[in-house]
A = this chain, B = another copy of it.
Amino acid sequence: MKKIDIFKKLRSSGLRPTKQRVEIAKFLFERDKTFHFTIESLDKLLAKKTTSRFALATIYNTVHAFKNAGHLSEVDVRGKKTYFDTNITNHHHFYDNETLELIDIDASEVVIQKIPKAPNGKKIKNVEVFINLKN
């Protein structure tokens, strides 16, 4: 993704392309593979890869702004920290319980033959498959 697209993405989401948002967006979205992170890991990586300084609150604010704008999704992982995901398509995950890393599984790679019908008055919103890995 090009810098110009980053600007468009922000503007179209009602987010001013500030220095911090652009830097974080470039770091998150200018990559080929999907990226899973926590606020803490992102903070450390940004410190390494950029010269700018970011208040932790700004990282929280920016990540939530991206999430609310639909540019990031959230993944449920056991543990206290919230995981975010640059892959916003419907997809599934391997979770490596040794390295604590998520690995994407494309929705097409999982076929479910049978699931129970939703309880009365409820509809199925989506189905998430989470595959725990061990060595």
Interface residues of A (CB under 8 A from B): 74, 76-78, 94, 96-97, 103, 105, 109-116, 118-119, 121-135
Shortest distance in angstroms between A80's beta carbon and chain B's nearest beta carbon?
8
A94, B113: Cβ atoms closer than 8 Å: no
Contact partner of A78 (CB less than 8 A), chosen from B74, B125, B126, B135, is B74
Enumerate chain B residues within 8 angstroms of A109, measured Cβ to Cβ.
114-116
B128, A129: Cβ atoms closer than 8 Å: yes
Contact partner of A135 (CB less than 8 A), chosen from B74, B116, B121, is B121
Instruction: Assess A128 versus B122: contact at CB under 8 Å? Given A74-B78, A116-B109.
Output: no
Enumerate chain B residues within 8 angstroms of A135, measured Cβ to Cβ.
121-123
Shortest distance in angstroms between A99's beta carbon and chain B's nearest beta carbon?
10
B114, A97: Cβ atoms closer than 8 Å: no
